[in-house]
Structure 1
Amino acid sequence: MHRSLIGVLSAVLVVAFAPAATAAPAPRAACPERPGMARCLTSYPPVRALADGPAGWGADDLASAYGLPASPGPETVVGISIAYDAPNLEADLAAYRAQYGLPPCTTANGCFRKVNQQGLSAPLPEASFGWALESTLDVSMVSAACPSCRLLVVEGNSPGFADLAETEDTAVRLGATVVSNSYGAREGGAPLAFASHYQHPGVAVVASSGDAGFTAASYPAVLATTIAVGGTSLARDPSSARGWAESAWQYGGSGCSAYIAKPSWQQDTHCGKRTVADVAAAADGIAIHYADAGGWLPVNGTSASAPFVAGLIARSGHATAPADLYAKAARFTDVTTGDNDPAGGGKKCGGDYLCVAGPGYDAPTGVGVPNGLTGF
C-alpha cells in the first residue's frame, strides 16, 4: 500500500457501525477540502479493506429496508457528475454487482459509459484516490436502487464549480434524465453563479446534503431546483413490521439557506429561506468494493444516500421534482429519532427540527425515507 494512502486512511476518524449512543469521532471527507472548490462527501474508517467479502450494508439489505420491488425497472439513464477519473471504476462496479446478483453493467453491453466533461471518451482527467472512491460509491448505490438503469459517469477536470457545472450539462445532453451529485460546498456567491446548470426541464437533479451535521447549507443541494438528500443510520429490528429501524445520521447535513428564497412547496416555519434536506436514505456503513484500497470497505456519507435516491427516481420512471416529494410526504417512512448534531442531543439547534428528527418534516431527514417507489 502506498505511504500516501496509509496516511489518508490513518487520518480518517470514523468508527463504522458504532451504536447510536456511542460518540464517534467526526468523519473526514475522502477528498481534501480546497478553497474555491467542492469536495466529495464520503468518509471511510481506518480499517484494512476485506478481500473476501463485504463489510457494511449491501444492495440486498437496502432493497429489504426500503421495500424495493422485485422487477428491475426501466433502462433509465442516470448521470453521475463527478471530478477526476476513476481508472478501475468499471471493474469495481462489476465486483459489486456480481456480489449482490445484479446483472452486468459494462461498456460492452451499453449499460456503462464514462466520459470527460465535454462528453468524450478520451482524454479523461487525472486520477484521484478520494474522488475515485466517491465515483465507486455513486455507481454502486445507483445499481442497488435501479439494477436496470444505465450509468453515465461524467468526469470533470477538477472539483471547480465551472467544471462540475459542465459535467451536469453534458450528462443531460447525453441523455440522462436523472443526475446525481455527491459533492458540496458552502453556499455563497461563487457556487451560486452556476445555479442555472442544475435546472433542466424534465430532469431530476439530486444532491447530497453534506456530512458536517447541522451547519451552513450545502451547494448544490440548497438550490430550489435540486432534491437535497440527507442521511440516516440503519439497524435491523426484527420486532418491527418493517424489520428495520432508522434514525437521523449523526453527521448528515442540514441547514437554513442564507441566499435561496423559500420555495412555495416548503412549509417549515423556523427557516425563512430554503431548508435542506428534502428526503433521506442510509448513509452510514455502506459496503462497496474499491480495489485501490484492497477490496471491500464500509463507507459513510450522504454521497451514498443521494445516488441511491437518484436510482429510485430513475426506477420509478418519473421526472420527480422537489415539490413532488412534499406533495407525497405521506408515502415516505417518517424518521422520528436521532439528530445531526455531532456533539449529540441537538444542542447546536436548541433541540429544534432543524437538527433533530421528529414526527413530520425535519431538516436532517426531510419528509422521510423511501417506502418502495411510492413517493416518486
Structure 2
Amino acid sequence: MRTTTSPNPSAASGRWRRIGASALGAAALVLAGFGTAAHASAAPATSTSASAKVTWAATPCATPKHKGELACNSYRVTGGTTAFQKERAAETGKTAKVTPKAAAASPTGYGPSDLQDAYGLTDAAADNGSGETIAIVDAYDDPNAAADLAKYRSYYGLSACTVANGCFKKVSQTGSTTSLPSADSGWAEEESLDLDMASAVCPNCNILLVEATSASMANLGKSVNEAVALGAKYVSNSYGGSESSSDTSYDTSYFKHAGVAITVSAGDEGYGAEYPAASRYVTSVGGTALSSSSTTRGWTEKVWNTSSTEGTGSGCSAYDAKPTWQTDTGCSKRTISDVSAVADPATGVSVYDSYGVTAGWYTFGGTSASSPIIAAVYALAGTPGSSDYPASYPYAYLGTSSLNDVTSGSNGSCSSSASYLCTAKSGYDGPTGVGTPEGIEAFTG
C-alpha cells in the first residue's frame, strides 16, 4: 500500500462532510449532514504519494461554497513525476520530467489509448458508441467546455465533437442552451475531466453536458432527470455528500430511471458511504491505482488509498435498501461500490482545461475520473434493457475474464467481521466492487 506524507500536517483538509468531524477552529467547522451541510472553508490540503513522489490538491469544487451543496470528487496533480511520465521515459530511455505546478504544454497523465488498452476496450472504442449519448451532470457553467473538449480530442486524434456537428450539447437543468448557470472555475475543472474521460473511452459517442444551477441535491437531481428526458441512456455523476434519511426520497425523485445506466463516484475520503453513490438505482464506482506491468494484461491495479481520509470511498449504506443483485452478507443494506476504474492522482489521467487556470494540460485523479469512464463503458456495451437497472450487469460476470479482479489494498479500517467492506480480496469487495472492466461484456444486459 502506498505510504503518504503531508507537506503541511497542520493544514485543514477542506473536505469535511461528516457530522462530528473535528475542525481546527469553531469558525472553520461547518456541519456536513447531507442536504444541510458544507465543508470547512480552509484551502484543501496537498497530499503526497511517497512512492511516486507526486503531489496533488483537491479541486476547488471539492469544498462547496454554499451551505447544502455537494462536493465534486476530483484532485489535480501539482507536482512530481506521474506514472505516465515514468512509463514514457522508460520506453524512450529519457529522464522522466517533473510535472510543473502550472499547466503543461503536453499531457502528463494517461490518455485514451492507455485507458482503452488497460480495460480491454481498444476494439470496442473504435467500432461502438455511434448514436449513443453520454450525459455528464455537474454544477455551474464552464464557458470553455466546448473549446477545451475540442483541444483534448484534437490532440489525441479523436473525431471532432462539436455543437455544430451535433455531437456535443451543453444545457442548463431546464434544458436551455442559452440561459446557463453562473460560471465557476472549480466546477469547470470537474467538467473538463468528465468530458475528456467520456471522450477517451467512447470517442464515437455524443456528449450531453447538463449544468445544474447549483451543487444542491435538488438541482443536481433535476439535472439527472433532464439528461434522461433529453434521451441520454448513460448519465455520469462525479459528486457526493454524507448520507441522510432523505436519501430514499431522492432515490425515487432523481435516480430511479429503469433502462438508464447512471454512474456515481464512490467518494474520495476513504472508507465511508456517500450519497448518491449509495442509491440502489445507480452504479457506484470506486477507484484504483493503475500501473503498467509485465503481466499478460500489461497492467496492474490496487485499491486507491493515500491515507485514512483520502482514497476511494466504500461502505455500507445506513438508509438505502440492498438491491437484489448484491449478495454480500456483511452489510444488510446497500453496499458501495459496484465496479471501479483508475482514480489515484499518482496514476492519473490527462485533461485539457483553460477556464480560470493557465490553459494547458493537467493530470487529475479522484473517483470523478472513474465514474465517466464506467459510464462510457456502458455506452460501448449498448443500450440497457428498458426495465433494467444496469448496476446489476457486472455481478453476473463476477469471477470471469470479463472483469479484472482487484485483490490488493484497502481504504481504511472497518469491522474484522466484514473486512471486505474496506479491503480488497478475491471476488466482491467494497473499494473495487466486482472489479474493473476487461472489455464490454460485463456491462451488457
Task: Note whether the superposition's TM-score is higher than 0.5.
Answer: yes
**Does structure 2 retain, via aligned residues, the 8 Å contact 1:30–1:41?**
no
1:374 aligns with 2:438: no
Q: Which amino acid aligns with 1:132?
A: A
- Unaligned runs of 5+ residues in structure 1 are 1-7, 342-346
SS across alignment from 2:157: coil
> What do the CA deviations read for 1:25-51 (whole angstroms, capped 9, x no partner)?
895353113542211111113342334
CA distance in 2, matches of 1:318, 1:18: 42
CA distance in 2, matches of 1:35, 1:86: 21
The 5 Å alignment of 1:236-315 reads 236-237=292-293, 239-250=294-305, 251-284=311-344, 285-292=348-355, 293-294=357-358, 295-315=360-380
**Does structure 1 retain, via aligned residues, the 8 Å contact 2:104–2:362?**
no
Q: Which amino acid aligns with 1:263?
A: P
**Does structure 2 retain, via aligned residues, the 8 Å contact 1:14–1:44?**
no
Of structures 1 and 2, the larger Rg is shown by 2
Aligned position for 2:149:
93
CA distance in 1, matches of 2:110, 2:138: 23
SS across alignment from 2:419: coil
Q: Percent identity?
A: 43
- Unaligned runs of 5+ residues in structure 2 are 1-40, 80-100, 306-310
SS across alignment from 2:437: coil
CA distance in 1, matches of 2:149, 2:440: 24
**Does structure 1 retain, via aligned residues, the 8 Å contact 2:237–2:372?**
yes
CA distance in 1, matches of 2:373, 2:217: 23
State TM-score, norm by structure 1: 0.90
Q: Which amino acid aligns with 2:419?
A: D
**Does structure 2 retain, via aligned residues, the 8 Å contact 1:115–1:154?**
yes
CA distance in 2, matches of 1:58, 1:93: 13
**Does structure 2 retain, via aligned residues, the 8 Å contact 1:30–1:44?**
no
The 5 Å alignment of 1:40-119 reads 40-47=72-79, 48-70=101-123, 71-73=126-128, 74-119=130-175
**Does structure 2 retain, via aligned residues, the 8 Å contact 1:183–1:303?**
yes
Q: Aligned residues, how many?
A: 359
CA distance in 1, matches of 2:177, 2:45: 33
Equivalent residue for 1:28, pick from 58, 66, 77: 58
Equivalent residue for 2:71, pick from 36, 39, 45: 39
CA distance in 2, matches of 1:274, 1:206: 15
Equivalent residue for 1:13, pick from 46, 52, 55: 46
**Does structure 1 retain, via aligned residues, the 8 Å contact 2:56–2:78?**
no
Equivalent residue for 1:355, pick from 422, 426, 433: 422
**1:153 Cα deviation after fit:** 0.6
**Does structure 1 retain, via aligned residues, the 8 Å contact 2:56–2:77?**
no
Aligned position for 1:124:
180
Per mean C-alpha deviation after superposition, the further-off stretch among 77-86 and 262-271 is 262-271
CA distance in 1, matches of 2:280, 2:223: 19
CA distance in 2, matches of 1:269, 1:243: 34
SS across alignment from 2:312: coil
1:365 aligns with 2:398: no
**Does structure 1 retain, via aligned residues, the 8 Å contact 2:245–2:319?**
no
SS across alignment from 1:14: strand
Q: Which amino acid aligns with 2:371?
A: A
CA distance in 1, matches of 2:141, 2:67: 21
> What do the CA deviations read for 1:107-137 (whole angstroms, capped 9, x no partner)?
1110000001100112110111111111111
**1:193 Cα deviation after fit:** 3.0
SS across alignment from 1:164: helix
CA distance in 2, matches of 1:11, 1:172: 34
CA distance in 2, matches of 1:208, 1:95: 25
Per mean C-alpha deviation after superposition, the further-off stretch among 111-120 and 315-324 is 315-324
CA distance in 2, matches of 1:18, 1:243: 24
Q: Which amino acid aligns with 1:104?
A: A
Per mean C-alpha deviation after superposition, the further-off stretch among 271-280 and 29-38 is 29-38
CA distance in 2, matches of 1:10, 1:168: 29
Q: 1:9 to 1:299 in 2, by over 3 A?
A: farther
**1:19 Cα deviation after fit:** 2.9
**1:291 Cα deviation after fit:** 1.4
1:324 aligns with 2:387: no
CA distance in 2, matches of 1:265, 1:95: 41
SS across alignment from 2:370: helix
Q: Which amino acid aligns with 2:372?
A: P
Aligned position for 2:91:
none
